[in-house]
Structure 1
């Protein structure tokens, strides 16, 4: 099997930072990976809005992940291309990153601004759930991560979700 060199692959597949922005803009929810106090993993999802380099989610304490997020436990987030839109299921475009979390004070200016943006993105259901006392607003602040947009096209991203370098220096090898 004929493989391109690493340098050829980097040049051919090198994404531009706008590609990351486009993925964020066309994705409506984040996949959450959290751990509880005993180290038990939990995965879930939540609709989000992206404001000033932070992802905001409105989540209920009835969900396991909310306590983990509110307690500031280690969290990873993923945005991934819709399965129905991908050309190759093994190479779905995705952005994965570690985050720190913060809880936004209810009825603060930030709360009101973000809840308004969530309503614009997700409709009137946000009015209803934002009034429920078990729902809290969490900020997910990127630390570092990776962006993948195909085979051999994986990149490290920084806290601003800017591509900083190719993730590996070797191609996949065949048997």
Structure 2
């Protein structure tokens, strides 16, 4: 029997992916400006369903890039002090689309409550500042690495699609 598999089967979100996100308080951000210049930064986040939300100030370079919907990559990474092997830190890297959440929306209110629960009373102060905006980061696709020989492609729902090592490392 010859089967042609045109669609990759997905597996549920790996428990380790959920655990990595749950143990991470901030997300690393990689953005580009209008001229294509890269910028890296970070922001505290909360996750609601499959969307990540960050409250960021326009005083930061990355905020303009995020608000204008340019290409964005986000990374959740194991703390250096907790890793057993620095070359193989556990990490989830995602391409994401961005959208700004309106201040007068139910989503804004719900996310601000969750940000305050997660990151403390400082959220009350900064969420009232006019230069702070709320950005939704919606995953598109990405990769999850959990050590040497343990790298996977993931989809927008953070489900593992396939093992990716077979195509990447080559012998000398």
TM over 0.5: same fold? yes
User: CA contact under 8 A between 1:54 and 1:141: conserved in structure 2?
Assistant: yes
CA contact (8 A) 1:49 1:118 kept: yes
Q: Which moved more, 1:15-24 or 1:62-71?
A: 15-24
Q: 1:152 touches 1:171 (CA, 8 Å); kept in 2?
A: no
Corresponding residue for 1:135?
132
Query: Following the alignment from structure 1 to structure 2, what is the Cα–Cα distance between the partners of residues 124 and 32?
Result: 24
Task: Report the aligned-residue RMSD.
Answer: 1.5
TM superposition score normalised by structure 2: 0.90
Aligned equivalents of 2:132, 2:96: Cα separation in 1? 20
Q: 1:41 maps to what in 2? A: 38
List, as ranges, runs of 4+ consecutive aligned residues in structure 1 with deviation greater than 2 Å: 170-175
Q: Aligned residues, how many?
A: 161
Contact persistence 2:13–2:157 (CA under 8 A):
no
Q: Kindly report which structure 2 residues correspond to 1:14-163, keeping only aligned pairs within 5 A, or say none.
A: 17-163=14-160
3-state DSSP class of the match of 1:27? coil
Consecutive unaligned residues in structure 2, runs of 5 or more: 1-11
Write the distance in 2 (CA, Å) between the matches of 1:38 and 1:84: 36
Contact 2:71 2:96 in 1 (8 A): yes
SS of 2:165 mapped into structure 1: coil
Give unpaired runs (5+ residues) of structure 1: 1-14
The alpha-carbon deviation at position 152 of structure 1 amounts to 1.0
Q: CA deviation at 1:168?
A: 2.6
Q: Using the alignment, how far apart are the partners of 2:70 and 2:111 within structure 1?
A: 23
Cα shift at 1:51: 0.3
Conserved? CA contact 1:152–1:172, under 8 Å: no
Q: CA deviation at 1:132?
A: 0.1
Higher helix share: 1
Alignment match, 2:8: none
